[in-house]
Structure 1
Amino acid sequence: MGRFTTILWQKENHVVTLKLNRPDRRNALNPVMVQELTTALETAAVDDSCGVVVLTGEGQSFCAGLDLDHLATMEQRTAEEHRQESESIARLLRVLHDLPRPTIAAVNGSAIAGGMGLATVCDMTLAVPEARFGYSEVKIGFVPAVVSAFLRMQIGDKRARDLLLSGRQMRAVEALDLGLVTRIVPESELMEEARRLAVCLLRNSPAAMQATKRLMNEYGRAELDAGLALAVTANAEARSTADFREGVRSFLEKRAPVWPSLQPEEISKR
């Protein structure tokens, strides 16, 4: 499929491989990539010749989250545009989560913020030892809203709060311990291991795997529906805050942020 500009699509032996293809931007998500990736996943969902989907990144990173150059233009958008962009992120992760085909993330490098969401929402997540994971949103005055709806279901409230409130990065081994990574694989073997896993899955009954995924998704559907509705609103509102504008500016200017939400006397103490 050659119509995509930010991702590469390859189908071979019933395995669709989707590669995020903005290596110069560490495969950061922008509106075009979000839409193209959603379209590619929806296409794979209805393609009877597709048995497994593998998601990976081009270059040294898996996905650095939302493109900060795009986020820097948030001030120019209306509240409705903020909500539409929030809904598009939620839709992408929901399509990936609900895909009737088994999904494998081959995490070839850092998976940050929304990129970590993409990596860990997949059914199985392979990662190189050097991969780093984290939800860095609070460090730029943003709210990790949409990803939190999935993370809380995966690892529980307490551990999710640790990752989301600290914004810290963790190594692949910790992500493995938390159950967010399935297996750690040497970089030289990553894609071959993803293919081997895909072949194993292709030997199973497609109908049984689809029914199993549907059943697993039904267990938490009501909670996820409610969580994503709250998350979309929180995400949209966060894009209009003074702290978010300062966070993006300070990051791009390579300086420490001065949070507008802090009182002057508090700033002097920090």
Structure 2
Amino acid sequence: MDVQEYEFIGVAQRNGVATITMNRPEVRNAINDKMRAELIAAFDAAGADKNVRAVVLAGAGKGFCSGGDISGMRARLDAPAGEVAFNGWKRQGSTHRGVAAIHDIGKPVVAAMNGGAFGLGLDMALACDFIIASRDAKMAMSFIKRGLVSDGGGMYFLPRRVGLARAKELILTGRVVEAEEALALGMIDRVVEPEALPDAAQAWAEELSQGSPAAIALTKAILDKTFESSDSAIFALGREAQAICYTTAEHRSAVESFLNKTSK
């Protein structure tokens, strides 16, 4: 992966894992338009690079991501009344492209949640396949506190993690959830000590990405459709995916290795 220079995003690669770091620590990595565009570019680059097998999404400094940048909220309030809705519609399209870049990449994505993840920041973590958090992490679906709805996919992702009733409670109250409760609820998957977070996220990403890249990408794409699809639709997608896997070098190598071992 060619490490491109970004203003608000850091990218590092080690052992097949690209760590993409939101880098505005002075505002707890609040997302502005340029950071969003750079995040999309970084995920697209990771997705296209055959040397990248998994991605870790992290936040610089003391927090994961505090949500949308307050300057964007101020600009929205200052816009002429007749332009507010259309401007908001356009901005939402950009937000959704950013979340889709995280969710749709055909490689495992681990969110390394250090510190706070609020509003859109939590939505983005939920868009990842897995979340590992430091013990001092805190998170909240804080949109309701601003008179807003979750606009970064949280209303899609959160019920799939914690169930519908619990998701409603968390979204409608906007209350702060600490790491241990989040783990018990299923909002996140693992909790580690703060100093262990970077290495633990790296190691888990490496572990998740040892299989055939084609099999991983196809499996992830099908599993992401499971709750919206019938059994027959999932079976059909699996059949098509398996036909593709039959043609891959990884499958051929694995079968030949197995046969050679058993024939001795």
The list of structure 1 runs, each at least 4 consecutive aligned residues, that deviate by more than 3 angstroms after superposition, is none
Of the candidates 104, 108, 117, which is equivalent to residue 114 of structure 2?
Answer: 108
Alignment partner of 2:60 out of 41, 58, 62: 58
Deviations 1:179-217 (CA, angstroms, capped at 9, x unpaired): 121100101111111121122123222222112101111
Q: Which residue of 2 aligns with 1:130?
A: 136
Query: How far apart, CA to CA, are the structure 1 residues paired with 2:36 and 2:30?
Result: 10
Identity of aligned residues (%): 33
TM-score by length of structure 2 reads: 0.80
Whether 2:153 is the aligned partner of 1:151: answer no
In the alignment, is the contact (CA less than 8 A) between 2:159 and 2:167 conserved in 1?
yes
2:148 is matched with 142
SS in structure 1 of the partner of residue 7 of structure 2:
coil
- The Cα offsets for residues 57-97 of structure 1, whole Å up to 9 and x where unpaired, read as 11000000011122111034423221111111112112211
d(CA) in 2 for partners of 1:20, 1:158: 32
Which structure 2 residues correspond to residues 217-232 of structure 1 after superposition, within 5 A? 217-220=224-227
Residue aligning to 1:169 = 176
2:110–2:130 contact (8 Å) kept in structure 1: yes
Q: Counterpart of 2:72 in structure 1: which amino acid? A: H
1:193 aligns with 2:195: no
Alignment partners' CA distance in 1, 2:161 and 2:208: 22
Structure 2: distance between partners of 1:198 and 1:158: 31
Q: For residues 173 and 204 of structure 1, what CA distance do their matches in structure 2 show?
A: 31
SS of 1:69 mapped into structure 2: helix
Aligned to 1:211: 218
- Provide the secondary structure at the position in 2 that maps to 1:145: coil
TM-score of the superposed pair, with normalisation by structure 1: 0.78
- Report the residue type matching 1:177 in the other structure: A
- Look up the equivalent residue of 2:23 and give its one-letter code: N
Question: Which runs of 5 or more structure 2 residues have no equivalent in the other structure?
Answer: 230-264
Contact 2:108 2:209 in 1 (8 A): no
Decide which of 44, 47, 66 is 2:46's aligned counterpart. Answer: 44
Bigger drift between 122-131 and 85-94 goes to: 85-94
1:95 and 1:221 map into 2 onto residues whose CA distance is 20
Question: Which residue identity lines up with residue 191 of structure 2 in the other structure?
Answer: I
Question: What amino acid maps onto 2:147 in structure 1?
Answer: G
Aligned partner letter, 1:156? G
Letter in 1 for 2:51: S
* 1:244 equivalent in structure 2: none
> Which amino acid letter does the alignment assign opposite residue 122 of structure 2?
M
- Kindly indicate whether the alpha-carbon contact (under 8 Å) linking 2:132 and 2:201 is maintained by their aligned counterparts in 1: yes
**Partner of residue 91, structure 1:** 97
Number of positions where the alignment pairs a residue of Structure 1 with one of Structure 2: 223
Q: Report the 3-state secondary structure (helix = DSSP H, G, I; strand = E; otherwise coil) of the residue aligned with 1:71.
A: helix
Whole-angstrom distance in 2 between the partners of 1:198 and 1:167: 30
Q: In the alignment, residue 196 of structure 1 is paired with which amino acid?
A: A
- In terms of Rg, which structure is larger? 2
> Please, which moves more after superposition, 180-189 or 69-78?
69-78
| Structure 1: gaps spanning 5 or more residues | 223-270
- Contact kept in structure 2, 1:11 and 1:17, CA below 8 Å: yes
Q: 1:38 aligns to what SS in structure 2?
A: helix
Deviations 1:220-243 (A, max 9, x none): 467xxxxxxxxxxxxxxxxxxxxx
Q: Which residue of 2 aligns with 1:35?
A: 37
Change in Cα spacing, 1:96 to 1:221, as seen in structure 2 (3 Å) is farther
- Aligned Cα root-mean-square deviation (Å): 1.7
